[in-house]
A and B are shown apart, each in its own frame.
Chain A
Amino acid sequence: GQQLNQSPQSMFIQEGEDVSMNCTSSSIFNTWLWYKQDPGEGPVLLIALYKAGELTSNGRLTAQFGITRKDSFLNISASIPSDVGIYFCAGQLNFGNEKLTFGTGTRLTIIP
Chain B
Amino acid sequence: EPEVTQTPSHQVTQMGQEVILRCVPISNHLYFYWYRQILGQKVEFLVSFYNNEISEKSEIFDDQFSVERPDGSNFTLKIRSTKLEDSAMYFCASSGVTGTEAFFGQGTRLTVV
Contacts and interface: CB of A to CB of B under 8 A. Distances in A.
Contacts of B105: 42
A31 B104 contact: no
B100 A96 contact: yes
Interface string B35-48: 10000001111001
Contacts of A103: 42
Contacts of A35: 104
Contacts of B33: 99-100
Contact of A97 (B4, B58, B99, B104): B99
Given A97-B31, A99-B56, A100-B102, A43 B50 contact: no
Contacts of B31: 96-97
Interface string B50-73: 100001101000000000000000
8 contacts: A42-B91, A42-B104, A42-B106, A43-B43, A43-B91, A45-B104, A100-B43, A100-B45
